[in-house]
Structure 1
Amino acid sequence: MTEDSTPRPDAERPPVDPGHTQEVDVEHTRAFGPPPGQAPLLPPQEPVREPVWASGPDYTAAPSQAMSGPKPWSAGEHPAYANNPYSATATQSVPAKQATKGPSWLAVFLIAGLAALLAGLTGGLFGGWLGATDRFDGLDLRSGQDAGATPQPGAGATTRPGGTVANIAANATPSVVTIQVQAADGDGTGSGWVLDDKGHIVTNNHVVASAASGGEITVVLSNGKESKATIVGRDVSYDLAVLKVDRTDLTPLPIGDSNAVVVGDPVIAVGAPLGLDSTVTTGIVSALNRPVTPGNADDQSFINAIQTDAAINPGNSGGPLLDMQGRVIGINTAIARVAGQSIGGQSGNIGVGFAIPSAQVKITVDQLIRTGKAEHPIIGVMLDRQYQGEGIRIAEDSADNPAVTPDGPAAKAGLRAGDVITAFEGRPMTDPDALVVAIRSKAVGSTVTLTVVRDGKSRDVKMVLQGRSD
């Protein structure tokens, strides 16, 4: 397999070490249907007289009457009024008509005009007060359209010092969203975050992939407001996707430099694990450059991941991993699981989570927004997965496919079939997937150095990575 070919079938995979980071769970939570709505309130209906059981109280009567037995309504009574003035047998007497002189027509018009003026003035003042105090904030008067106020930072933004978890979380949560997906093969829930003021939302590809060929994606803000979203672009290999909502008033999260992160740095994960929106967990950076390849043969991803012990669970996928300045340094993507200890096909947090570094996110997201697809850097070789020695050996030529792609980066650098790659950019290489992950963590056009052994002699070779879009 070359580092830029379709992944090999599962049957061709070598045995997996239980501790290997390949064994990860990237399934998102299943979205549950909305809670049942309340029955609509109907106007009171005049009750229909029904036979009254002799042995039971009449619950249509007043409470005091219900305790003492049924009491029939009299002909002049009505359930909504003390007396029914329209009853044919009303007991009230009607006073005799007195001969009085009514107001003149001029007085009538003056009174009507004054009443209309007062009503307009009162309505305008009352409406202005409602608008100024946001009393209509919870009402969506534009049925079928995106509406609602912009989410605001929580109390911790002002009541807690800057740089604390509470302060960072309060400022970040308005920019983190829950993503609900409805598709033919089922519903799902994930997380995402606001990239810019143009309505772009970043998430994982596996969160929205089921709706790519037909389905509905809804972005739910931290204040509960919903907007329909469309897919701008997505990439399986990097497990990234960009969505678009019809809003320009959302606050984007700043993006940090994942290359400056070191092991031990404190981090904050924000998302919607198990559908619980605006959930905040904390931890540290446990390791860097973890080669993680979640997914199946037809949707496998290659991630040079940041490992963290911050609690990450199904549903966190696509949410941001923040540093202590509130900047995005990664996108929470996968979790390790212990074989046989999952429930319903999903496992929870065991303190081993993985995030896509922000350096990779910036490159890929920019490509997805510009072209709708991402470029993958390649060196143009086929790897021998049966090789058991030190390093990674380039496969032998076959009748149909040369092991080294003609005019590719490796060919131009002088690599041949049978050469063994022992290091990439100074990092020892022992696993083919780790090499693929390392290559794909670089940008197209980057110059990289490989350490290659041929005939027992080691040498360093440089090459410029080429790009290819799948």
Structure 2
Amino acid sequence: MTPFDQPDRADQHPPAGNPFAPPVDNPFAPPSSRPVAAPGAAAPSGAPAAPETSISRAPGAPFGPPAPAPAGWGAAPTPWPERQVPQPAPLPSGAPGRRGARGRLRAVWVAPLLVLAVLAGALGGALAERALDQGDRLVDAGLPVTAQPGGAARPPESVAGIAAAVLPSVVSIQVESAQGSSSGSGFVLRQDGYLLTNNHVIAAGTADGARIDVLFADGSEEPATVVGSTRDYDLAVLKVDRAGLVPLVLGVSSEVAVGDPVVAVGAPLGLEGTVTTGIISALNRPVSAGGQEGPAFINAIQTDAAINPGNSGGPLVNTAGEVIGINSAIAQPPGIPGAAPGSIGLGFAIPSDQARRTAEQLIETGAATYPIVGVLLDQSYRGEGVQVSSESQNGQQPVSPDGPAADAGIRAGDVIVTIDGRPVTEPDELIVAIRAKAPGDTVTLGVRTGDEGTREVRIVLDERTSE
């Protein structure tokens, strides 16, 4: 059983078979944010084995050994054979001459051809003398050039146009701490130096003696401080001492649809300025991602754009270049615990509507809040819907006294089957659907008590400060 208000970290791991993995960044990557080859690093000794729903922190394996040189490579070259120039055959002698009309016609055609041949030979000799230097190499090869020396124009809505507009505002983030190093992505939120990224990207940077460095698209670097962060929503706001930055616009994620084209930008495996494309492949995907510090619950946008370790915190943008999601997690094939699958076409982003609300709170107060219903959910229940626990857990009652659920008449053991008309079958589905709301919002739950029919219950969500 898991508390619905503030889930217990030890009990909130996704159920077996859940393909959603934790955040995509490698906390043990080498310090350099610009590796020569694909980085590969193992987790430090003593790190706990990742469960089925976790992703390995190693971003990839190094390239294999070079292929062997072909046989005979490096041997002395074989000289070319002497060129044999064929000699022209002599014209036959003694041929009887012919005069008349056909002879005159042949003379008319041959004479101009002879003149042209002489002129072509003279011109070719002059050109060759001017075009060749003493090394028998062309001074000017004279190859054709494009009719548009400035390059073809790219429409703003093309991938190239979107990339050109977005890349200058995307940053790479490097964290150094006593526990090791980690890296990720982020983007400019305000022109006065505020940046947005994932909490798991900079979590180690909040420790004493840790350092966070931000690498900009122009190659410059700035140290950053943490303005505020929330583990529950996996978001963090950073501040650098720089003005005049170009922010990205936060779009309206509630207006996107499955099939919309999207572009992901970030630094996967430390490769800054990487652009990948795809579509929105699903909406409202319940994702429980996180590490040892505890899970984050995301009502995620799913995309098939290639996302790899290091993309976390980077933007997922639409064709207008507006941010509609913050890339945060990738799925892992079941049965491969601890493996680093890389991109398998199942990436997840925090919707921009949620990111906007949380970022505003972090900038204004340094902390964020999330909505609560006031019930504990039974994780062992396997029937239809999601069941409210029938017993107390760790001293917390199944239904919080004077909480929103209690005021609405929900009792211990009740089964919640829908939220705002949408069916729910797993506890995580209900949790992320509630977390996607704001405190003070009203939701309608479909609730069943015992053998009674389903009734609709309207609940005004309460508020709790996030960790």
Give TM-score, length-normalised by structure 1: 0.71
Cα distance change of structure 1 residues 158 and 276 upon mapping to structure 2, 3 Å threshold? same
CA distance in 1, matches of 2:356, 2:162: 22
Quote how far apart the aligned CAs of 1:33 are.
3.5
Deviations 1:268-327 (A, max 9, x none): 000000000010000000000000001136321000000000000000000000000000
Quote how far apart the aligned CAs of 1:454 are.
1.2
Residue 416 of structure 1 aligns to a residue whose secondary structure is coil
Contact 2:225–2:239 under 8 Å retained in 1: yes
1:322 to 305, 313, 317: 317
Quote how far apart the aligned CAs of 1:406 are.
1.2
- In structure 1, the residue matched to 2:460 is 464
Contact 1:27–1:346 under 8 Å retained in 2: no
Quote how far apart the aligned CAs of 1:412 are.
1.1
Deviations 1:234-293 (A, max 9, x none): 000100000000011110001110000000000000000000001000000000000000
RMSD: 2.3
Residue 293 of structure 2 aligns to a residue whose secondary structure is coil
- In structure 1, the residue matched to 2:438 is 443
CA distance in 2, matches of 1:184, 1:196: 31
Residue 23 of structure 1 aligns to a residue whose secondary structure is strand
- In structure 2, the residue matched to 1:253 is 248
1:193 to 187, 190, 206: 187
CA distance in 1, matches of 2:222, 2:231: 25
Contact 2:3–2:376 under 8 Å retained in 1: yes
**Alignment coverage as a number of residue pairs:** 348
CA distance in 1, matches of 2:464, 2:155: 47
1:312 to 302, 307, 313: 307
- In structure 1, the residue matched to 2:261 is 266
| 2:165 paired with 1:171 | yes
Written as runs of structure 1 = structure 2, the 5 A alignment for 1:41-440 is 159-214=153-208, 215-296=210-291, 298-339=293-334, 345-398=339-392, 400-440=395-435
CA distance in 2, matches of 1:320, 1:314: 14
Instruction: Give the unaligned 5+ runs of structure 1.
Output: 37-155
Residue 317 of structure 1 aligns to a residue whose secondary structure is coil
Quote how far apart the aligned CAs of 1:29 are.
5.8
CA distance in 2, matches of 1:383, 1:262: 31
Cα distance change of structure 1 residues 453 and 193 upon mapping to structure 2, 3 Å threshold? same
Contact 1:29–1:190 under 8 Å retained in 2: no
- In structure 2, the residue matched to 1:6 is 7
Quote how far apart the aligned CAs of 1:440 are.
0.2
Written as runs of structure 1 = structure 2, the 5 A alignment for 1:16-31 is 16-17=16-17, 20-28=18-26, 30-31=28-29
Cα distance change of structure 1 residues 209 and 452 upon mapping to structure 2, 3 Å threshold? same
Higher relative contact order (CA 8 A, sep 6+): 2
Quote how far apart the aligned CAs of 1:24 are.
4.4
Give TM-score, length-normalised by structure 2: 0.71
Deviations 1:161-180 (A, max 9, x none): 12111011001100000001
CA distance in 1, matches of 2:27, 2:310: 5
Contact 2:169–2:248 under 8 Å retained in 1: yes
Cα distance change of structure 1 residues 425 and 35 upon mapping to structure 2, 3 Å threshold? closer
Contact 1:25–1:337 under 8 Å retained in 2: no
Residue 422 of structure 1 aligns to a residue whose secondary structure is strand
Contact 1:157–1:170 under 8 Å retained in 2: no
More divergent stretch after superposition (385-394 vs 174-183): 385-394
Cα distance change of structure 1 residues 347 and 8 upon mapping to structure 2, 3 Å threshold? same
CA distance in 1, matches of 2:259, 2:372: 32
Residue 377 of structure 2 aligns to a residue whose secondary structure is coil
Quote how far apart the aligned CAs of 1:339 are.
4.1
Cα distance change of structure 1 residues 387 and 249 upon mapping to structure 2, 3 Å threshold? same
Deviations 1:76-109 (A, max 9, x none): xxxxxxxxxxxxxxxxxxxxxxxxxxxxxxxxxx
Letter in 1 for 2:239: K
Letter in 1 for 2:16: V
Contact 1:29–1:314 under 8 Å retained in 2: no
Quote how far apart the aligned CAs of 1:32 are.
2.4
Instruction: Give the unaligned 5+ runs of structure 2.
Output: 35-149
Residue 359 of structure 2 aligns to a residue whose secondary structure is helix
CA distance in 1, matches of 2:153, 2:257: 30
- In structure 1, the residue matched to 2:37 is none
CA distance in 2, matches of 1:244, 1:230: 5
Q: Identity of counterpart residues, as a percentage?
A: 53
Residue 302 of structure 1 aligns to a residue whose secondary structure is strand
Residue 300 of structure 1 aligns to a residue whose secondary structure is strand
CA distance in 2, matches of 1:340, 1:420: 31
CA distance in 2, matches of 1:420, 1:297: 31
CA distance in 2, matches of 1:459, 1:377: 22
CA distance in 2, matches of 1:35, 1:253: 23
- In structure 2, the residue matched to 1:106 is none
Residue 300 of structure 2 aligns to a residue whose secondary structure is strand
Residue 362 of structure 1 aligns to a residue whose secondary structure is helix
CA distance in 2, matches of 1:419, 1:338: 34
Cα distance change of structure 1 residues 458 and 335 upon mapping to structure 2, 3 Å threshold? same
Contact 1:25–1:346 under 8 Å retained in 2: no
